[in-house]
Structure 1
Amino acid sequence: MSVELMVWDEPEPIGRDQARATYLAVKRAEPSDGSGVVPEVVKELPGEVRLYPDGHVLVSMDLDSMDEVSAQVFAIARAHGLVCYDPQRDLVHNVAPLGVYEGMQLHTGDGMIVHDPDLGLVDDVLGTLSAQNPFAALVNFGRHFIQVSPGYELEYKEGTLVRTTVAELEEVRRAFREYATGDRSFLTRHEWAQ
Structure 2
Amino acid sequence: MSYDLAVWDGDRPPDDHQAGSTYDELYERYLASNDVVMPPVPSITAYVEALVAQYPDDVDRRVVWASTPVLDEASGPLVYLAMSYSKAQEVSEYASALAREHGLICFDPQAERLRP
Report TM bin, short chain.
0.5 to 0.7
How far apart in 1 are the matches of 2:41 and 2:10? 16
Candidates 75, 97, 100, aligned match of 1:52: 75
Candidates 6, 28, 33, aligned match of 1:30: 33
TM-score (norm 1): 0.42
- Residue 112 of structure 2 corresponds to which residue in structure 1? 90
Contact 1:30 1:52 in 2 (8 A): no
1:24 CA drift (Å): 2.1
1:89 CA drift (Å): 2.0
How far apart in 1 are the matches of 2:24 and 2:85? 20
Aligned residue type for 1:75: A
- Residue 135 of structure 1 corresponds to which residue in structure 2? none
* Paired residue secondary structure (2:89): helix
Candidates 95, 99, 102, aligned match of 1:80: 102
Q: Are 1:43 and 2:65 an aligned pair? A: no
TM-score (norm 2): 0.65
1:83 CA drift (Å): 1.0
For the aligned residue pairs, the C-alpha RMSD in angstroms reads 2.3
Aligned residue type for 1:26: L
1:13 CA drift (Å): 4.4
Relative to structure 1, the CA distance from residue 86 to residue 12 in structure 2 (aligned partners, 3 Å threshold; closer, same or farther) is closer
Contact 2:39 2:74 in 1 (8 A): no
Among all aligned residue pairs of Structure 1 and Structure 2, give the percentage whose two residues are the same amino acid: 34
Q: Which runs of 4+ in 1 moved over 6 A?
A: none
Number of matched pairs? 93
How far apart in 2 are the matches of 1:37 and 1:27? 15
Structure 1 or 2, whichever has the larger Rg, is: 1
Relative to structure 1, the CA distance from residue 87 to residue 35 in structure 2 (aligned partners, 3 Å threshold; closer, same or farther) is closer
Please identify which structure carries the higher strand content: 1
How far apart in 2 are the matches of 1:69 and 1:36? 21
Unpaired runs of at least 5, structure 1: 94-116, 118-194
1:27 CA drift (Å): 3.1
How far apart in 2 are the matches of 1:10 and 1:44? 19
1:75 CA drift (Å): 1.0
